[in-house]
Amino acid sequence: MRKEVRAILVTGYGINAERELAEAFRQVGCWVETSHLGDLIQVPDQILGAQILALPGGFSFGDHLGSGKVMAHILKQKLKNRIEKFIRQGGLVLGICNGFQILVKMGILPNVDGACRQEVSLIHNESGMFVDRWVKVSFNSTNPSPWIKGLSEEWYPIRHGEGRFITGTRVTGDTLQELNLIALTYAEENPNGSELGVAGITDRTGRVLGMMPHPEAFLIPENHPWWPRKKIPKEAGLQIFRNGYEYARGIV
């Protein structure tokens, strides 16, 4: 008999999308534990008892020093070793919006050189405006991530002010393409000016995924703005979470 798949969601200090994300994982069969960052720091081995670690969206610490920067610093100082061990043991990590920003600024993504130092960033949208609308994304079928298995195109909502993906001098767009780390791109418009239209990336294992769009805000067809005029597949927004669950079942 298989054991249950456990997902830990990190919350607190301005994270505000944990309920949506928890519901997404519950709907696909996960046992979900929402853990405040302060509690997780007190009992860090909680992470090693799970198969999925998720960082929800929101505005951690008000984004006052830059989106995700403060929480990334705390996680790196207090939980870096546990998170790296979790990944080495085969665990799955998902960061959405602010969670993506945190993973990038921790150095967990893309972590090309394995030193867990920041190599890319997510900065203010090119327009200088907060964007809040649905966008079409394309998935990279050659990226090895179990999170995006079988996905080709989908519509998801975005809601961010600092979603513009940029690379640096050490890790360039060419590097990400050569290593096949770009997981999804904006398909019809680039709402924030991201380099190469990047909407999400993975690490080399594919098991760590960060993305700006919010699949957890698309749990039922009626969430989609086109639902009155077009038939929307029942679980279109849940497929990423189902993929994670199915993969994790194989390692429990």
Of 97, 119, 160, 224, which one is the catalytic site residue? 97
Active-site annotation holds for 216: yes
Active site residue 33: no
Output DSSP code: residue 133. Answer: E
Catalytic residue among 18, 20, 30, 214: 214
Report how far residue 200's alpha carbon sits from residue 137's, in angstroms, rounded to the nearest whole number. Answer: 10
Choose, from 154, 160, 216, 224, the residue flagged as catalytic.
216
CA distances from 27 to 31, 98, 216 (A): 10, 22, 11
Beta strands in the chain (DSSP E): 6-11, 31-36, 52-55, 92-96, 120-123, 131-139, 153-160, 164-167, 182-186, 198-202, 208-211
Active site amino acids = 97, 214, 216
